Structure 1
Amino acid sequence: MITLTPSPFSPSEALAAFEKEARGAGAIVSFTGLVRDRAGETDVDGLHLQAYSPMTENGIEKAAADARQRWPLTALRIIHRIGDMAPFEPIVFVATASAHRRAAFEAADFLMDYLKTEAVFWKKEFTKTGSRWIEPRAEDYSDSARWTQTDTETDRHARHK
């Protein structure tokens, strides 16, 4: 299930609901991303995140389908905030469940790399001195590039069946 929401959400409530949905899985992995309060040496007052519907949702759905194809997942959940957010508010929640831990970890990591680099979002950071649009970092693209390597995908999936 994938949700884009302008409303704050509770990661602990999302995880509790996901655990019920994924009952019987051998492993559940979750990740919660928070709005940072600092950008380098600058205090951050807030963040605005804009999506482009339905393109944003369709891209995330495709990444989720890709994750399900690569790893034997029993459940998957993504919640992503849009709109205005304050520092320390949850911005993203990703949870995956599988019979084995490695598949759940890798699928969650894959989905976060997609959300950081490929998902159609525009992020604007607000500080006391102004605002600026945020782009993915070089490290984000480097992390994401791991998933385009063709030598491990089939082997990794076969190991976790």
Structure 2
Amino acid sequence: MIKITDKPFDPGAEVANFERAAKGAGAVVSFLGKVREEANSEKVTSLFLEHYPGVTENSIAKIETAAQKRWAIKNTLIIHRVGALTPGEPIVMVCVASAHRRDAFEAADFLMDYLKTEAMFWKKEIRGASEAWIEPRDEDYKDAQRWREGN
């Protein structure tokens, strides 16, 4: 399931609902990403995210399908916020259920690497009086590269 929303979400409630829906799973892995309070030694006052409705969801659905083909997973949940967010707010959540932990861990890692580097989101950090569009870091691209190398 994919949810792109401009509304806050409750990570605990989302995981609980996901676990109920993933009956019979031996492993449930979740990752929660939050808006950082500091970037480049500057205080972040807010983060603004834009997406291309329909296109963003379709591109995420394709990578979700790729994960389901690559690993033996039962269910996935991907939640991503858009709009204005403040430091400490949840921005992204990925949950994966499978029979065994390794599949769940690897699929969640794969999905997050895609969301960080390839998903169609545009992010602007506001730091006091300045603002800047932010791009994935070199480390993010290196993390994603390992999936293309057959790992």
Q: Same fold (TM over 0.5)?
A: yes
TM-score of Structure 1 vs Structure 2, range by shorter chain: over 0.9
CA distance in 2, matches of 1:74, 1:57: 20
Alignment of 1:134-153 (within 5 A): 134-150=134-150, 152=151
CA distance in 2, matches of 1:62, 1:75: 15
User: Percent identity among equivalent residues?
Assistant: 54
Give the partner amino acid of 1:61. A
SS of equivalent residue, structure 2 residue 29? strand
Which residue pairs with 2:118 in the alignment?
118
Q: Deviations over 1:112-157 (max 9, x none)?
A: 000000000000000113100000000000000010013x4xxxxx
**Superposition CA RMSD, Å:** 0.7
Residue-pair matches, total: 151
Given the two structures, how large is their TM-score scaled by the length of structure 1? 0.92
Which residue pairs with 2:38 in the alignment?
38
CA distance in 1, matches of 2:71, 2:128: 44
Runs of 4+ displaced beyond 6 Å: none
Structure 2 residues not aligned, in runs of 5+: none
Structure 1 residues not aligned, in runs of 5+: 153-161
Kindly indicate whether residue 87 of structure 2 is the aligned counterpart of residue 87 of structure 1.
yes
Which residue pairs with 2:56 in the alignment?
56
